[in-house]
Structure 1
């Protein structure tokens, strides 16, 4: 992403882009947003990148003109489009090649096509669709100067799999006629594997074409996948290639699409089914980190200040804070998609809490949101760890998506509880549990810092015998493996590697236990293998959360394995997760915990969830709440004037003698709120618009404890100049 090709307009606007003649300096590519709109002043978010969505022309405006509108306002531009659905009416309705292609839609058992919108089905990615994507979409955007392409949401619904094109793909892939997935677990497993394969191949072919075509034009093309987490796709009963893409040579990274809409999916814990937005988001982001960490691929974390479903502004704010905090608790990721669809956020009305009245975004929320978004422009990566034990992992696999629908033999997994049964009992006790992708076990770094690994084949199956070889090796060298499961689900006996050819195992765990010389049917709970240990808990993990107070034994075994067998120190239980990233403090305090005490942080700290940016002597965070703070004691150079927090982005900063000036930009019709560090209280403050006219409605105040001045005034995408002298 370093050699982004600049438009002339961008060069003119950014100034000083060239360090020496002919040698471009790599531009910052840390923050982005996706939009299908041309530039308008209401959505001038000022991130590094505008990801322009969709190749369609609009009435009076071509795609190329829409793209240029963002370049003309100083943005680097990239491109995103759907790979499973999209506004491809020229393909679906026959304009592209004279053939109507609505028949390639994903079809349910009832014969219904699953649509994303009018004339917009979720597709079975057949050859003609891939050809359309390559020639009508990818080629055009590369010709328009795009070098970074995001393919969004490769999704095949678990309830689909009944269309004629899918049946034909089945025959080609398996060499025998299609079998309806509702008739057996085996058929469902085969159907899911094919869905997975079809999108893997579609992405592989499309990304390879993009790179080859770009190369023919002298361009280096990067391709990314924008995708929900494995946690969410499994929960929502969708099949997607997920982890396998991380090792595809044609894929350069991901956007982790986690937001209120995915994270508010209700979960079971302690016998109660309800929304646990922070905890779910934490696990979702974690699964995306573990998917890519060993590969070194770039990862953008997404949050959304609203969501797809209409709610009220108070609901949006509460859950935005929860998901935003969750993503910041992963300090190795420091690139962000700050929002999708700013046009939806800034220009559409939504409900006021406890009312049917709809209003545009309240200014208190747009100010807070912009403070949070602009903090991401300077959010550093960090080697710090979240407080608590970071060495406990839960094994995941793409095959989690293969067992979700339909139900067979009465075996239920309500709300994906076999996953949450392994994770929530620990996370709710303040253990920042890690998720580990089975597909990455061949990378030595995958289990490097894991002391205890929890494994269950109740809701997933091992993808190869090599997985077990890697696990047995890890245990032999000192790892502690806790296996949870009755091995009684109908997928234990599907036609797979553990029960075909020379293998005659009736459950895949038997193969793993054999490698470690363990009799898993003996009823014994603990075994030793080499320097390591194995525990077998003959319960399905969902049993730990579907009933109240059903997880103590599971937690006790994890604690014993960590402290006594791994000898990794004390497994601390608490109700909070805390992390420092440079001057930023990130904390979440969880409810549903025996410890109901609030968390107190000593100041001076600036509260970044408060649009007034108060400097606090202490901050108290209650259970069920989160906080993002700026600790002014951790500023590296306190003699240097600088913007610490703002609902705008600062440009053209200049320090001359006892004066400091800068220009700030942010969307029109929003209020700026900013806190600026100065060596002394300012004697003069001058705020002018882009025409040089002085603004009169400017709020200012001085805080002695932090040596900061507060400024508040109306935002303007054309720029507002601030001059401070002391």
Structure 2
């Protein structure tokens, strides 16, 4: 027996050592650990940025010689020492790769591999940091100098972010070389014709798909040689944003790349505040744009099963004021939560600039301060809910099953304009989506690249489609769309089909096909005869409605979307037999104990939405308990509903501006440790059976911590507020 115990202890010791960090070799723990929340930083651990998410994504392999000769490996270890999972991120289209461009790596200058405009100007991301035409030589550089070093440091998750090729670029010698290799004929200037533009953007798309495929395949193979399973992710803006900002990127096609494991949806105030048109007005519509951006990311991966992190940012890249940041953060934060099948989050990028940056205190002053305590407290309450935000089968209230079709080629037609055809602010997309969204219909997006997946078509009853701003990459996708219609789907095709990209040399007008527009090929598969006039057509068990207007016409002028809405309503009511579409001014979703609300402006209904119950207001840094919450048009709300807590006799922290760890409970006592960044306030509401008799709050040295406390008898919650400490504040409550 003693021998067996000794053997057991030896085995246990070996297992423990295998699961522990080997700081000498920089190996990360091999235990499977929670990776629900993350943030990215280029700096080492600091007490003022100790966000307490699950993952610290360490950015860039650059050694910080100005910060005590701290190497990349040192930065990684500084986060590991504080209990974080460590991942790695760097740019694939730009980065601190000066040693490549200046010839230090291979003895050759590569500044000619920057992205160049028609005027001959290189597009720069920073000093000696051009946006890159990703040649195979550059890809080899990334493999050798970046990916190897990261994996050697024991990191098993790599993020290559923002594969971006500007639409206005495409004139460099490097691009001309890639053109000749790809097409087999000499480069053509994209500004000279729509066809040249289309060809240029297909090549840009291919180059970054190739770059990611090569790098990720190498990472997985090299990882296996080291006994590691390396995961590969792409942090990227949405297809909506890249199309609007005139950037080309692989986007949806990556979801089927064998070596790609998932995305970070880079949606935040900076992307979502890009103006769009609705009802004849061009303006920022941050919530609505964010809702469509997150939706396009969610639908991109839902059929393929890839992991998706949703990102929000409490500030943005552009310097503004704290009031502006707070308002728009709330809008984007609520938009992401309205997708209940996504529950992994990048809670913030760049905590250093959020906690230590100086920004204006209001729009009408130049006075700058670090983040106000009220905002940092609210923000930390919000991000700590994400550690426990549940997946949910609940749906946003409203008419379900209406989707807008998207394709990667939305990015191909944005720049330059040809033959006078313009699509201001991506209005051919927003013209399909905003008339519905603004009337309280939670419209979905559907990716043409995912048409072959059966899951793509789940829960879609009406598909809104146009080729005014995009074109199909292949004819196979039309077969899937046609089959869906024949089985009972309703297709609403909107477009004049007269933009100059309809006639580019592509599959629908080559190799024996002579369709004047790609839609004609689809209509033929659906059994619709020329001249494809406006009207309704019965197709199998389904229906096709053709509208001979471009979708932009619904939003560029006031009141021009009413017939469009009437048509969709008639199809929903009379063809689907599902009744009238529900027109309203709000979106509401329940996720576990959380209530998520957004009330729309620019709606005929100007009444507030009112929730009742025992509610904690998570947008208020005092986290008050309310009996009722009124949300006005243009506002959002995020609430914790105590009435939906399942076990009210279980002592538990309901909401907090800190990460709660080391919980211990017995019959009449509840203890835990709270950790959050230095120089911030913690507020929390603790559910306990009755008013406490004794409360002890101490720091990690056992010294008493000053705290504000109060008891709310109706909700049976105890409010505690104190100064945060990344080393931990110990709380003991006895009742």
Q: Is the structural similarity TM-score above 0.5?
A: yes
Matching of residue 489 in structure 1 with residue 499 in structure 2: yes
What is the DSSP-based 3-state SS (H/G/I as helix, E as strand, rest coil) of the residue aligned with 2:303? helix
CA contact (8 A) 1:43 1:342 kept: yes
5 Å matches for 1:256-655? 256-353=265-362, 354-519=364-529, 521=531, 523-655=533-665
Question: Displacement, 1:517?
Answer: 1.6
Distance 2:534 2:228 in 1: 61
Question: Displacement, 1:520?
Answer: 5.3
CA RMSD of aligned residues (A): 1.3
Give per-residue Cα distances to partners, 1:283-330, cap 9 Å, x unaligned: 000000110000011000000000000000000000000000000000
Distance 1:524 1:309 in 2: 45
Matching of residue 245 in structure 1 with residue 245 in structure 2: no
5 Å matches for 1:691-710? 691-696=701-706, 698-710=707-719
CA contact (8 A) 1:644 1:676 kept: yes
CA contact (8 A) 1:154 1:199 kept: yes
5 Å matches for 1:53-132? 53-59=59-65, 60-132=69-141
CA contact (8 A) 1:80 1:152 kept: yes
Question: Displacement, 1:103?
Answer: 1.3
Distance 2:578 2:90 in 1: 46
1:46 alignment partner in structure 2: 52
Aligned residues: 711
CA contact (8 A) 2:523 2:532 kept: no
CA contact (8 A) 1:451 1:568 kept: no
Question: Displacement, 1:516?
Answer: 1.2
Of the three residues 182, 189, 196, the one matched with 1:180 is 189
1:666 alignment partner in structure 2: 676
CA contact (8 A) 1:9 1:74 kept: no
What is the DSSP-based 3-state SS (H/G/I as helix, E as strand, rest coil) of the residue aligned with 2:51? coil
2:13 alignment partner in structure 1: none
What is the DSSP-based 3-state SS (H/G/I as helix, E as strand, rest coil) of the residue aligned with 2:553? helix
Distance 2:206 2:375 in 1: 43
Question: Displacement, 1:642?
Answer: 0.4
2:208 alignment partner in structure 1: 199
The runs of 5 or more residues in structure 2 that have no matched partner are: 1-17, 24-28
The runs of 5 or more residues in structure 1 that have no matched partner are: 11-16, 18-23
What is the DSSP-based 3-state SS (H/G/I as helix, E as strand, rest coil) of the residue aligned with 1:557? helix
Question: Displacement, 1:523?
Answer: 3.3
Give per-residue Cα distances to partners, 1:209-256, cap 9 Å, x unaligned: 000000011110000000000000000000000011000110000000
Question: Displacement, 1:7?
Answer: 5.0
Distance 2:539 2:158 in 1: 47
- Per the normalisation by structure 1, the TM-score is 0.97
Distance 1:113 1:140 in 2: 29
1:222 alignment partner in structure 2: 231
2:198 alignment partner in structure 1: 189
Distance 1:610 1:472 in 2: 50
Question: Displacement, 1:524?
Answer: 4.1
| CA shift in 2, pair 1:522/1:79, >3 Å | closer
What is the DSSP-based 3-state SS (H/G/I as helix, E as strand, rest coil) of the residue aligned with 1:261? helix
Matching of residue 33 in structure 1 with residue 75 in structure 2: no
CA contact (8 A) 1:520 1:536 kept: no
Distance 2:660 2:22 in 1: 20
- Per the normalisation by structure 2, the TM-score is 0.96
What is the DSSP-based 3-state SS (H/G/I as helix, E as strand, rest coil) of the residue aligned with 1:311? coil
CA contact (8 A) 1:393 1:433 kept: yes
Give per-residue Cα distances to partners, 1:398-417, cap 9 Å, x unaligned: 00000000000000100010
Question: Displacement, 1:704?
Answer: 1.5
Question: Displacement, 1:534?
Answer: 0.6
Question: Displacement, 1:706?
Answer: 1.1
Distance 1:311 1:94 in 2: 39
Distance 1:184 1:675 in 2: 63
Give per-residue Cα distances to partners, 1:131-182, cap 9 Å, x unaligned: 1100000000000000000010000000000000100100110011000000
CA contact (8 A) 1:9 1:71 kept: no
CA contact (8 A) 1:532 1:566 kept: no
Choose 443-452 or 94-103, whichever is displaced more. 94-103
Distance 1:588 1:480 in 2: 29
What is the DSSP-based 3-state SS (H/G/I as helix, E as strand, rest coil) of the residue aligned with 2:412? helix
Distance 1:108 1:347 in 2: 36
Distance 1:620 1:70 in 2: 42
